[in-house]
Amino acid sequence: MRQIMMRMGGLPLILTLFLSVFSINQVWADEAASGSESKLSSELLADMLENPETRQQLIDELRQQSADTPAMSEAEAEQSPSFARQIADDTQKVAQDLVSTIGRSVQAVSTLGSEQSSHTWSTMLTDLGYLFVVIAATLVVFWLVRGIARKIFFRVNQWAENTHRDAIIRRTLAIIASIIVDLIVVAIAWVAGYAVALFAVGSDGEMQITQTLFLNAFLAIEVFKVLLRSIFAPKNAGLRWLPMMDETAHYWHSWLNRLTNFIGYGVLLVVPVVANTFSEAVAQLLSVIIVLFAFVYAVLTIWHQRTPVKNQLQLEARAATFSLSRIGLGMLARSWHILATIYFAVLAGTMLLQPATALPVILMATVQTLAAIVMGLLLVNLAATYLNQPLQIQSRLQTQYPMLETRLNSFMPKIFQTFRIVVLIAVVAVVLDAWNLFNLPAWLASPVGLHVVATLLTVAAILVVAMLIWIALASWIEHRLNPQGEGDGPTAREKTLLTIFRNASAIALIIMTLMIVLSEIGINIGPLLAGAGVLGLAIGFGAQKLVQDVITGVFIQMENAISVGDVVTAGGLSGTAEKLTIRSMGMRDLSGTYHVIPFSSVDIVSNYMRGFAYHVGEYGVAYREDTDEVIIKLREAFDELLANDEHRSKLLSDELEVHGVTALADSAVNIRVRIKTLPGSQWGIGREYNRLVKRHLDAAGIEIPFPHLTLYFGEDKDGKAPPAPIRVMDMPKKLQQQAESSPQAGSDKRSEANPSYKGDFDEE
C-alpha cells in the first residue's frame, strides 16, 4: 500500500481538497444569486401577514394545499421519469448551463474597459500592483524564514536517524517537531503579509479584497504543502512518513507541489479575482477549466503509471506474509487503474450534475476513506516495529529461563497477525461507512454492536491472560529443570514429575480457555460439558486398558518408582528409561532397541538406580586349592581397585565383603564377595574387579576350573580294563613308523596267533 502512495502520491487528496473548495464556491454563488429574491419574498410575506384578510386567505390556501398534497404526489409518482430520462435531463441541463456560461463569459470580456464595465483598466492595474506588492513581501519573508528553518530540519533529521532502541518514537517526535516548525514559518509569513497589506499598502488600516483572497489562499495552500513535505520530505529522509527512495520522493514532491500551486491559487485566488474584476460567468468558466484540467491530468497520470504501480503491487503481493493482503494486492494490481479512472469520472460527473448535494458527500467519503487507509497503514507499521520484531531478554534471565525468549518470539507474530486482522476489519468498516454501505456509528451504539465489541474485548483479554499464565508456568518449570540454575540441579524425579505436570497443565489450560471463550461468545457449554462427561464415561468403559495405564502411571510416578535415566527392569525387559508419560514408558535396552511399555503391563518394577548398588561376585577354584589363600588374593585385587582414583570415587565402602565358601560345586569350590558402589556403577566396577581377580589368581598359580570331560570304557569282574577300541581313520606316516619300530611290534605275532585281534590301531 505504501507503494501506491509513492506512485500516486497525494493526488487524490489534493483533488479532493480543491474540488470541495470549488463545490463550496458554487453553493455560495447560488446563494448570493438568490439572496435578493429571498429578501423580496420575505418583505412580501410580512406585508401579507399584517393584513387580516390576506393572512386568512393565506391560511386557507395552505390548508387546501396540504389536503391536495397526497393526490398530487401519487399523480407525480405515476408520471415520474425513468432513471435514463433523469440522466438525459441532467446532461442537457449541464450542457445548456455550460453554453450559457461560455456566452456570458465572452460577453463580459468583450465589455471590459468599455462604458458598460464597472471596472477600468487603470483601477485594475492599481489593484493588481498592490496585490503584487503583498505577494512579493509575503513570499520573501517566507523564503527567508524557511532558510533559517532548514538548519533546524537538518538537526532534527540527524537526531531522528541516529540508531536507538526506540527509533520509531524518535522519528515520530521528529516529524511532529518538523511539522510544528514548518507551520510556524507559514504563520510568520502570513502575518507579515497581513502587516504589509494593512500598514504599507492599504490606507487607514484597510486592505482590498484581492489581498485578503491571496493571504487566505497562501495560508490554506502552504498548510497543505506542509502535509506534503511531511509525507515526502525530499531533503530529509528521517522526517519522511513513508519509506521510499530519495529520488522518488523528490520527483513526486516536485510534481505535486506544482499541481498544488496551480489548482490552489487558481481556484482560491484567480477565480475570485476574475469574479470581482469581470463577472461571475467568467469565474465559473475558469473554475470549470481548472478542475477539468486537474481531472485530465489525474487520468493521464493514472494510465501513465499503471504498469509501474502494477509491477510494484505484484512484488508487494508476492512478498506479503498475510494471505488476505496477498490476495487483495494481487487483485488491486490488475484493476487499480480502472477503479481510479471510474472514481474520478464519477467525481467529475457529480460535480457537473449535482455539485451542491452529491459532491460534498462523495468528497467527505473520499477523505474518510483516505484517512482510514493511512491510519491503518500507520498502525500496522507501528505494530510491525514492536510486535513483529524478535524480542531479546537479558543474558541472566536467558540463563535461568532458556526457553522464555523462544516462547515469547513464538507468540508475538500471532499477536501481530491478530492485530493486523482487527485493523483490516476496522478499516473496511470505516470505508463502508464512508460510502453509506454500512452505518458504523449506529451499529456501535446498538445493543448488537455493543455486545459484539464487548465480546471481542473479553475474548481478547481471556486469550492474553491464558497466554501469560502459560508463559509463566512453562518458564517456571523450565527454571526448575534447568541444570544451570541456582542451587543443585533437578533430580530425576523432579524432571519426570515436572514434565508430566507441564503436559497436563497445557491440556487443562487449553480446555478451560476454550470453554470460557465459547461461553463468552454465547454458546451454551452446559450440554457440551454433559456430553463430554458421557463421552468420558463411555471411553472409560471402552478403554479400560487406557484407564489402567493412566492410573498405574500416576501411582508409579507418585511413588518415584521410575525416573528418566534410570536403569530398570519392567514388563520383562531391562534397559534405560528414556521417556515417561502418563500412560507409558520408553525404554532402550543394551542392544539399542527402543521399547514402549504401557504401565498396565508392568507388575513389578526393578530399579537399579536407587541409593546404592552392589557388585556380587562368585569365583570358583579347584578343589586342590587353599581357600584361605584364594580369599587373600581376592582382597589384594580389591586393594588394587581402591588404588585407582577413578574407580575409588564410585565405591561407597573401603572394605571388601567376603561371604566365604558358598558352595562345593561339581568341579569347583565357590567363594562369594560383594562390593558396595554408587547406583549405576556396579557393572563397571564388576568388570574391572573381574579383570583384577583373574590376573591375581593366575599370578599365584591358583586354578580357576573350567569344564572337563572324562571317558570311561568299563572294566571286567577282575578289575582289569580291556584295551580301548580306538580306530584311527587316517594315521600319519610318522606315527605309523614309530609304532612299527616300538617293542610292541611283537603284537604282530599275537595277531598271527589270534587273527581276530586288530591291535591298538586299526588303519584302513
Taking a C-beta distance cutoff of 8 angstroms, is the pair 549, 599 a contact? Answer: yes
- pLDDT computed for residue 763 by the predictor: 38
Taking a C-beta distance cutoff of 8 angstroms, is the pair 172, 378 a contact? Answer: no
Amino acid at 195: A
Q: Could you give the percent of the chain with pLDDT greater than 90?
A: 13
Coil, strand or helix: which one is 192?
Answer: helix
Residues 6+ apart with CB under 8 A from 708: 667
List, edge to edge, every strand of the sheet that includes 605-607. 594-598, 584-588, 573-580, 567-570, 605-607
> Measured between alpha carbons, how far is residue 447 from residues 367, 443, 453, 454, 520 in Å?
29, 8, 10, 10, 16
**Residue 380 pLDDT more than 50?**
yes
Range 496-514 average pLDDT: 82
Q: Which DSSP symbol is given to 601?
A: G
Burial of 429 (0-12, 13-18, 19+ CB in 10 A): middle
What is the distance between the alpha carbons of residues 245 and 690, in angstroms, rounded to a whole number? 80
**What is the model's pTM?**
0.53
Burial of 67 (0-12, 13-18, 19+ CB in 10 A): exposed
Q: Which DSSP symbol is given to 651?
A: B
Cα end-to-end distance, the chain, whole Å: 107
Taking a C-beta distance cutoff of 8 angstroms, is the pair 362, 346 a contact? Answer: yes
Q: Could you give the percent of the chain with pLDDT greater than 70?
A: 70
- Count the neighbouring beta carbons within 10 Å of the beta carbon of residue 763: 12
Q: What is the pLDDT of residues 592-601, one digit of tens each?
A: 999 999 988 8
Q: What is the pLDDT of residues 521-579, one digit of tens each?
A: 888 877 877 877 777 777 766 667 777 887 888 788 778 888 888 899 998 899 999 88
Nine-digit cell string for 232:
515526502
Which of 85-94, 315-324, 618-627 is the most confident on average? 618-627
Position 484 confidence tier, pLDDT thresholds 50, 70, 90: low
Range 336-344 average pLDDT: 82
Taking a C-beta distance cutoff of 8 angstroms, is the pair 380, 452 a contact? Answer: no
What is the distance between the alpha carbons of residues 724 and 732, in angstroms, rounded to a whole number? 20
What is the distance between the alpha carbons of residues 676 and 613, in angstroms, rounded to a whole number? 6
Position 659 confidence tier, pLDDT thresholds 50, 70, 90: very high
Nine-digit cell string for 271:
477565480
Long-range CB contacts (within 8 A, 24+) of 33-40 = 33/280
What is the distance between the alpha carbons of residues 25 and 37, in angstroms, rounded to a whole number? 19
DSSP for 400-454, please give it.
HSTTHHHHHHHHHHHHHHHHHHHHHHHHHHHHHHHTTSS-HHHHHHSHHHHHHHH
What is the distance between the alpha carbons of residues 422 and 411, in angstroms, rounded to a whole number? 17
Nine-digit cell string for 181:
516548525
Furthest-apart CA pair in the chain: how many Å? 189
